[in-house]
Amino acid sequence: MVDQFHWLWATEWVCFSVEVVAGYAFVRAGKRLGDRARVRLLALYALASWASLFWINGNPQLAADAGPLPGDRQRVGGVLQPSFWPSLIFRTAVAMALAALAACLVINTLDLERERRAALIRRASRFAAPMIGMPLLAIWYVAVIPRTAGRG
């Protein structure tokens, strides 16, 4: 699998490296930056994190099905795998829900007045909204498996 996917893994590692550097920069220099720069740095972190998820998601999907795939198994086979998109969207929803929970935990540790804390928690909890669609994504994923299992 390394021979077939080394460029995809290299791309994923670049995204992961950007994610780590952006996170570290935020922790180390966040207090010295203006609000706009902090938001841009966090947006870069979020984009790099999702790009890393996108690129790495195809590899386990391809490994789960040893049969023939649409496209060439060299590069695009993992992305063209029928289970790739439901898996990616489901994992994105999980990541957003975890981010909402982590934000709510951090907000509760801040020394804020009750109304401000409640407003921030309401705003952060919006990231958990995609959880509503997770059962449908799971059904979509399971519906795709019989078409892909046992090929070859």
Taking only the tens of pLDDT, the chain with its 152 residues reads 566 667 777 888 999 999 999 999 999 998 999 999 999 999 999 999 999 999 888 766 666 555 555 555 555 556 667 778 888 899 999 999 999 999 999 999 999 999 999 999 999 999 999 999 999 988 888 887 655 554 44
pLDDT at 140: 86
pLDDT at 5: 66
Give the Cα-Cα-Cα angle 74, 76, 77 (nearest 5 degrees). 75
pLDDT at 95: 93
Give the Cα-Cα-Cα angle 36, 93, 86 (nearest 5 degrees). 130
The answer to whether 19 touches 49, Cβ cutoff 8 Å, is yes
Q: Using alpha carbons, select from 120, 119, 125 the residue that is nearest to residue 96.
A: 125
Q: Using alpha carbons, select from 48, 63, 65, 59 the residue that is nearest to residue 13.
A: 48
pLDDT at 76: 59
Residue 40, token pair as written in the block:
């841009």
pLDDT at 4: 62
Residue 111, helix vs strand vs coil: coil
The answer to whether 54 touches 95, Cβ cutoff 8 Å, is no
- Say what the pTM is: 0.78
